[in-house]
Amino acid sequence: MNPVTTTTPAPGEFHVVGDDIRDEAAPTGPIERRWDDRKFNAKLVNPANRRKIKVIVVGTGLAGASAAATLGEAGYQVVSFCYQDSPRRAHSIAAQGGINAAKNYRNDGDSIYRLFYDTVKGGDFRSRESNVYRLAQVSVNIIDQCVAQGVPFAREYGGLLDNRSFGGVQVSRTFYARGQTGQQLLIGAYQALERQIGAGTVEMNTRHEMLEVILVPDADGTERARGIVVRDMVTGEIETHTADAVVLASGGYGNVFFLSTNAMGSNTTATWRAHKKGAYFANPCYTQIHPTCIPVSGEYQSKLTLMSESLRNDGRIWVPKKEGDDRPASQIPEDERDYYLERIYPSFGNLVPRDIASRAAKYQCDDGKGVGPGGLGVYLDFQDAIARLGRPAVEAKYGNLFDMYARITGEDPYSEPMRIYPAVHYVMGGLWVDYDLQTNITGLFCTGEANFSDHGANRLGASALMQGLADGYFVLPNTLADYLAASPFEKVADDHPRVVEARQEVEERISTLLKINGTRTVDSIHKELGHIMWEYCGMERTAEGLTKAVGLIRELKNEFWTNVKVTGENEELNQTLERAGRVADFLELGELMCIDALNRAESCGGHFRAESQTEDGEALRHDDQFAYVAAWEYDTAGEGKTPILHKEPLEYEYVEMKARSYK
């Protein structure tokens, strides 16, 4: 870890400022050569030595499954963990619309550089140039890899792979498999993983949840990640597993809001445990609000359903021009409809980036023009597309999405417009990693949505699948080899003091949860946390609201640890205990998210501060003050109450930082 120099907080401040940090692994030179040079200069591990090296991979989504399969095929001993009953149930399977790649099959002006530029601009100039350019480079290899695996991408009449466009771009670069791209890509990665399980290079542990990371010092005092502590979710047995390196690919933390598009089990425990052991948590306030979700239907709803952004290719978004107009959509004539995205952003229209489309929908509903229950919805209308293309063509592209909408709402989207409203979806924040995907803890790597590295303040649609597979198939296998060239390290026994200590920490935390025996359910506290987060740290934030939220979360955290009721025992299948541990971590993370949002007194991407906007309501950045990655260190002395902020300055050589405009 870097040495820490802190300043004393002034009254009312929630954090202290530490030393600036740098990505020491980042290469220099021409940007188009950096990744190739890094790969060439990386140390290699010969095949005979790989068989002696063990790597733990936590998570089996696109990033985790592709990493475990690739490392297993390279000959390493891989031990894989997931909390689901099958790797195929990872939340990556829910992704719908597509995966980006700079293939330029449409000959419409796309290129690696344009994908790089669109991604940096889409992230509101808050991401690293080197990382994003590498992502664009690797994207072209991902498609070839997946086609070779048999992923059934959509094809044109002549047999060539088809493309569609997504928000924030003016080219067609998104490869897709109807509205189930994530499912098809995950099946491809899963098959590769299962092949290695069959070959004996990967050991699969399902229904196991990581609850702690094990750090062991070398002879020279360097703390290295050497293992994890997991709980067998069926028997309750606490197990310790050691290895030469640990890879976290455990996904995002959107469920801190309770209602989100994430799977119910998605959580932050793996990354938060690493954070509390010293790993920096970067940009936690950067949350993506997705503009096309089915609106909330009632108080007892436990999650939200995403309707793919790909629908914005052919669907038109509108609201009634007249406030309070509650007529059915079919009775509102064309001249009384406001296609507001096409009106405000004529260059991009319905394909503006997600953060802009989400705020625009919120503003329409705030102005009383929303549709559906509570006026919390806007129309996504396919009547023009059906008239232009014919219903069979629309069914071929989006049929499964239309069927899903009909099953959930009881409405027919072929005859009536869909109703949509923004909802929490993806998170751009995560563990801080360097160019090699290594955290500031030696030997602890982090991939996919669990890290912060590529998307800045807002992720462009179809880039999540791209990053997950880029990290797992192409980036990590090269950079991890460079680290493992110095291994195998000295074996860590099960009775090593650090292993025993980590196990005891987990056992004590579980015991504490079971002993509280209060009166409130875990879900009631989680739901209250979600209300606080959505109200004060959601689509729009203010200094006053964020300050209030920190106080409310601290009160709720105290309520949790004194009055929550966790039934059952550890030595059994106990889903209440599972949820309790996750909510305990969400409470701490939620507080840090609000502190990060309060510190970042600017608007950028998914982080919109009401005090920082242009005259026409667009996000107003302050590059002179906030052009940095906010990397937070857990304050062990203060039990996290005064987190330490380390700033990594962002420098742009190839893209000019300017006001983002899609008009």
What average pLDDT does range 23-40 have in this prediction?
Answer: 97
Helices (H), 267-419: 269-276, 340-344, 354-366, 383-389, 391-409
Flag whether pLDDT at 4 surpasses 70.
no
- The CA-based angle 389-353-92, given to 5 degrees, is 85
Residue-level length of the chain: 663
Flag whether pLDDT at 5 surpasses 60.
no
Flag whether pLDDT at 1 surpasses 50.
no
Question: What is the C-alpha to C-alpha distance for residues 586 and 604, in angstroms, rounded to an integer?
Answer: 24
Flag whether pLDDT at 154 surpasses 70.
yes
Q: Band of the pLDDT at 10, cuts 50, 70, 90?
A: low
> Is residue 657 a contact partner of residue 163, using CB atoms and an 8 Å limit?
no
Which residues are CB-neighbours of 524 under 8 A, at least 6 positions away? Answer: none
DSSP β-bridge partners for residue 281 = 431, 632
Flag whether pLDDT at 149 surpasses 60.
yes
Q: Band of the pLDDT at 3, cuts 50, 70, 90?
A: very low
pLDDT at 562: 98
Half-sphere exposure of 163 (CA within 13 A, CB side): 19
pLDDT in tens, 259-316: 999 999 999 999 999 999 999 999 999 999 999 999 998 888 889 999 999 999 999 9
CA 537 to chain centre: 17
Calculate the average pLDDT of the chain: 95
Amino acid identity at 491: K
What average pLDDT does range 620-632 have in this prediction?
Answer: 97
Task: Please classify residue 559 by burial: count the beta carbons closer than 10 Å to its beta carbon, then call 0-12 exposed, 13-18 middle and 19+ buried.
Answer: middle
CA-closest candidate to residue 197, choices 79, 32, 67:
79
Flag whether pLDDT at 637 surpasses 70.
no
Residue at token pair 């344009």: 114
What average pLDDT does range 125-151 have in this prediction?
Answer: 97
pLDDT at 471: 98
Q: Which two tokens stand for residue 358?
A: 């989400």
Question: What is the C-alpha to C-alpha distance for residues 66 and 51, in angstroms, rounded to an integer?
Answer: 19
Is residue 351 helix, strand or coil? helix
What average pLDDT does range 120-140 have in this prediction?
Answer: 97
Question: What is the C-alpha to C-alpha distance for residues 119 and 168, in angstroms, rounded to an integer?
Answer: 9
Instruction: Provide φ and ψ at 79, rounded to 5°.
Output: -115, 115
> Is residue 646 a contact partner of residue 634, using CB atoms and an 8 Å limit?
no
CA-closest candidate to residue 61, choices 85, 80, 34, 88:
88
> Is residue 77 a contact partner of residue 55, using CB atoms and an 8 Å limit?
yes
| Reduced 3-state DSSP string for 557-576 | HHHHHHHECCCCCCCCCCHH
Which residues are CB-neighbours of 489 under 8 A, at least 6 positions away? Answer: 218, 224, 226, 244
pLDDT in tens, 564-608: 999 999 999 999 999 999 999 999 999 999 999 999 999 999 999
pLDDT at 107: 93
Flag whether pLDDT at 446 surpasses 90.
yes
pLDDT in tens, 503-542: 999 999 999 999 999 999 999 999 999 999 999 999 999 9
> Is residue 210 a contact partner of residue 190, using CB atoms and an 8 Å limit?
no
What average pLDDT does range 362-390 have in this prediction?
Answer: 96
> Is residue 428 a contact partner of residue 284, using CB atoms and an 8 Å limit?
no
> Is residue 639 a contact partner of residue 12, using CB atoms and an 8 Å limit?
no
* Higher per-residue confidence, 629 vs 12: 629
Residue at token pair 């491809």: 188
Is residue 628 helix, strand or coil? strand
CA 374 to chain centre: 29
What average pLDDT does range 192-210 have in this prediction?
Answer: 98
Amino acid identity at 376: L
Q: Which two tokens stand for residue 480?
A: 């991890």
Count the Cβ atoms, other than its own, within 10 Å of residue 388: 11
* Higher per-residue confidence, 1 vs 326: 326
Q: How far is CA 33 from CA 137, 253, 422, 459, in A?
A: 10, 34, 39, 25
Question: What is the C-alpha to C-alpha distance for residues 650 and 627, in angstroms, rounded to an integer?
Answer: 6
Which residues are CB-neighbours of 619 under 8 A, at least 6 positions away? Answer: 124, 355, 603, 604, 605, 608, 612, 613, 660
Numbers of helices and strands, H then E, in the chain: 18, 20
Query: If phi over 0 gives left and psi between -120 and 50 gives alpha, with beta otherwise, what is residue 57?
Result: beta
Q: Which two tokens stand for residue 39?
A: 């790969």
CA 25 to chain centre: 23
Which residues are CB-neighbours of 198 under 8 A, at least 6 positions away? Answer: none
Q: How far is CA 11 from CA 19, 282, 642, in A?
A: 21, 25, 12
Positions annotated as catalytic residues are 354
> Is residue 205 a contact partner of residue 80, using CB atoms and an 8 Å limit?
yes
Residues of the chain with pLDDT > 90, as a percent, come to 94
pLDDT at 640: 62
Question: What is the C-alpha to C-alpha distance for residues 160 and 154, in angstroms, rounded to an integer?
Answer: 9
Q: What is the DSSP letter of 29?
A: S
What average pLDDT does range 185-210 have in this prediction?
Answer: 98
Flag whether pLDDT at 638 surpasses 80.
no
- Strands of the sheet containing 202-205, edge to edge, are 202-205, 77-81, 54-58, 245-248, 444-446
This prediction's pTM: 0.96
Instruction: Provide φ and ψ at 438, rounded to 5°.
Output: -100, 135
